[in-house]
Structures are given as C-alpha cells and as structure tokens.
Structure 1
Amino acid sequence: MSVYYQLILYLHVFSATLSIGPFFVLVPLIGRMKSADESALDVQLAVFQSAVRLVKHAGHLLVLSGVFLIISSGYRWTTSWVAMTILVMLASVVFLASAFKPVIRKIRRNEADRGQLLDVLNRKLWTYILLLLLMLYFMVVKPDFW
C-alpha cells in the first residue's frame, strides 16, 4: 500500500469521524434545550448549527477522499457496496439540506410548541445518524449485493 493511498485512507476515516461524531454530542443538547431560557437557547441553537456546518464541510472531504480511494483501489463504481454508498450519500445530502434549518428557524421564532419542535429536531437528528451509519456499514463491511 503506497503512502499516497494510506494518506487518503486516513483522511477518509478522519472525515467520516468528523461527519458523524458531532451529531452524537447534539443528542443531549436537544434535551437541555427543552428547559433552557431564551438566551441559553440561542447559544444552544448556534452550537447545533455550527455542528451541522462542520459535518457538511467534513462531508466534502469525505466525498473527495472517497473518490480518490475508489479510483486508486481498483473498485468499480458499479460495485454493489460502492453504488449503495453513493445512493445513501445522495439521500443524506438531500435530507441534510432541508432537515434542520427550517426547524431551528421555527424554534427561534417561537412558531410552535418548543417541545414538539425539539422532538422533530431529535427525530431528524437520529434519521441522519442512521443514514450515516448505513453508509459507514457499506464502506466497512463492503457487502456484495450483486
């Protein structure tokens, strides 16, 4: 294994960690948001948005390093686990683009019951985590579907 490949693999694993890890910190944060006063809630929502931003940028590095790994590894784009990873990745990009910002905006504007909105936010957070874990499964296990 070349040093180039090892470096790209390391960047890929590092960016995968950065693209899922911050979301596990947000789980207890959502619980704290339920009883937070307005000033604390603003800070907590800013932390939430920052974590989402970090995950988005880590996802860019993840995709780029993944492309380099596929090209240099000899796997084909039509290999089942590669194709499934790409399919789930596209679904997660679409989901991430619309999952959190509208709910956070409603919480900030007090448009509905905070508890209900935080439950929605929590559900969306776990949905996204599950999508990322599914991608991680495909990349690590490399199942052969066809």
Structure 2
Amino acid sequence: MYSWLVFIHAVSAMVSIGPFFVLIPMLGKLRTAEDAVLSSYLDSFHFVVRLSKHSGHVLVFSGLLLLWLGGWPWNTPWIAGTFVVLFASLFFMARAFSPTIRKLRQPDHDRNKLVRKLTRSLYIYMFVLFVMLWLMMMKPALW
C-alpha cells in the first residue's frame, strides 16, 4: 500500500505543477485577444487553478498518510520546511489568480496591468511549487 501512496503522491504533484506550463504561452495571447477568445483563455486559467487546487488536496492527504505510515517525524527539516512553504502558497494562491481573472472578465479593465500581475503570479507560484518539490525530493537537512 505504501508504494501505491507514493505513486498517488507523485502523480498528484505532477498534476499540481504540470498544467501551469500550458499557461505560459497563453500569457502573451491574453494581451491581444478579442473578447470571445479572452473568455476561453480565462476559462483555461481558471480550470488550471482549480485542477491544481484539487490535486493539491490529494497531494497533502497522500503526503500525510505517507508521513504516518512511513514513521517520519513532523520535525524532520524537509517536512517542516515543506509545510511552511505549503501554508504560504495557500495564502498566495487564494489572492493571486481568481481575483485577477475576475477583474479581466469585467468590461472596464486595464488589461496590460492585469496580465502583468497574472504573469508575475504564475511565475512566483511555479517557483513556490518547485521549492516544495525540491524539499520533498532532495530531503535536505535544513537544521
């Protein structure tokens, strides 16, 4: 069962991170898209954020089960570090994407400013996800 949990954990990590790469080429197209196409791009962004959020639930739950079944102590540096970064990313994700996507759907908006904000948020969030991935894979002795 433990090996299946590791597999589920790894797949949920891939599903949490992978779809964000699809959004990178879309960022440039958001600046010039017509309203009908803009809506479909924003739907794609919204879908990726929701997919990442829900696969993150599976990721955290499977990670907690792996901790429990594997006998890892909570004060292990890479585990504690991952949880610190995880909680910070939850607050960031809640404020980074959905409000900006909502503003882009409104008729009167500064598209360039909002797309820059969305771009910055995307790259910051991907960096945070990679930090968590690094902590889980490399298991560094931080202290």
Q: TM-score range by the shorter chain?
A: over 0.9
CA distance in 1, matches of 2:12, 2:126: 15
Partner in structure 1 of residue 132 of structure 2: 135
**Runs ≥4 residues deviating over 4 A:** none
CA distance in 1, matches of 2:136, 2:66: 11
Instruction: Tell me how far apart the structure 2 counterparts of residues 37 and 107 of structure 1 sit (CA, whole Å).
Output: 12
Query: Which residue of the partner structure matches residue 102 of structure 1?
Result: 99
Question: TM (normalized to structure 2)?
Answer: 0.97
- In the TM superposition, residue 72 of structure 1 has moved relative to its aligned partner by 1.3
Q: Percent sequence identity over matched residues?
A: 43
Unaligned ranges ≥5, structure 2: none
Question: Which stretches in structure 1 are left out of the alignment for 5+ residues?
Answer: none
What is the CA-CA distance between 1:25 and the residue it aligns to?
Answer: 0.6
Please give the TM-score of this superposition, normalised by the length of structure 1.
0.95
Matched, 1:27 2:24: yes
Counting only pairs closer than 5 Å after superposition, residues 70-109 of structure 1 correspond to structure 2 as: 70-109=67-106
Match of 2:37 among 37, 40, 45: 40
Q: Distance in 2 between matches of 1:31 and 1:88?
A: 29
Is 1:11 the counterpart of 2:8? The answer is: yes
**Deviation, structure 1 residue 14:** 0.1
Instruction: Give yes or no for the alignment of 1:58 onto 2:51.
Output: no
RMSD: 0.9
2:120 alignment partner in structure 1: 123
